[in-house]
Amino acid sequence: MSPTCDPLVRVQADDFDPATETRRLTAGRRDVGAVVSFTGLCRDENGRLEALELEHYPGMAEAEIARIANEATGRWPLTGLTVIHRFGKIAPGENIVLVVAASSHRRAAFDAADFLMDFLKSRAPFWKKEHVAGSTEAGWVEAKDSDLEDLKRWEG
């Protein structure tokens, strides 16, 4: 009954264009009623952040995101799903992560995008390091307990 779709997963150093990715899921189709896109950007902590550096586990990053994406397409009737996560140095204001979920139904698109972001945060093998202006020390961002709390929203 549920439309199946094959998620598109990319892990890359280059920037992405949310508009292009959205068009890929809607162009020439008449069955898409809702597209939810989430873009996560590098946010400046009080003007002191020079850049984020994102380390990742090549191979596992793609595999783990694909596992989460496939779980989402099994849970919600999606017509399309795209997930892109960048690695490397990223300046404030730049894109880090993109999730685009398309469906015939509004709630499915919202929930799938929300679910993807919750699981990416605590299961995709990426680690953020902060490069701070005027300092040679770079510090690893600590995981938040709330990230694990977020996962519980999707249980049961």
Tell me which residues touch another protein (CB under 8 A).
40, 54-57, 59-60, 63-64, 85, 96-97, 106, 117, 120-129, 140-143
Partner whose binding site includes residue 128, from a copy of itself, another protein, none (CB under 5 to 8 Å by kind):
another protein
Residue from 3, 8, 38, 77 touching a copy of itself (CB under 8 A): that is 38
Q: Which is nearer to a copy of itself, 58 or 93 (CB)?
A: 93
Angle at 117 between CA 50 and CA 93, to 5 degrees: 25
Task: Give the position of tokens 């929930």.
Answer: 111
Query: Using CB under 8 A, which residues numbered 51 to 70 contact a copy of itself?
Result: none
H, E, C per residue of 56-114: ECCCHHHHHHHHHHHHHHHHCCEEEEEEEEECEEECCCCEEEEEEEEECCHHHHHHHHH
- Interatomic CA distance for residues 31 and 2, integer angstroms: 12
* Closest approach of another protein to the CB of residue 109, in Å: 13
30 Cβ partners below 8 Å, 6+ apart?
Answer: none
Q: Tokens 């139904």, residue?
A: 105
**Per-residue interface string for the shown chain with a copy of itself, residues 95-124, x marking contact by CB under 8 A:** ---------x-x--xx--xx--x-------
Q: Greatest CA span in the chain, whole angstroms?
A: 57
Closer to a copy of itself by Cβ: residue 13 or 41: 41
* Contacting residues toward a copy of itself, per CB under 8 A: 17-19, 22, 26, 28-41, 43-44, 47, 92-93, 104, 106, 109-110, 113-114, 117
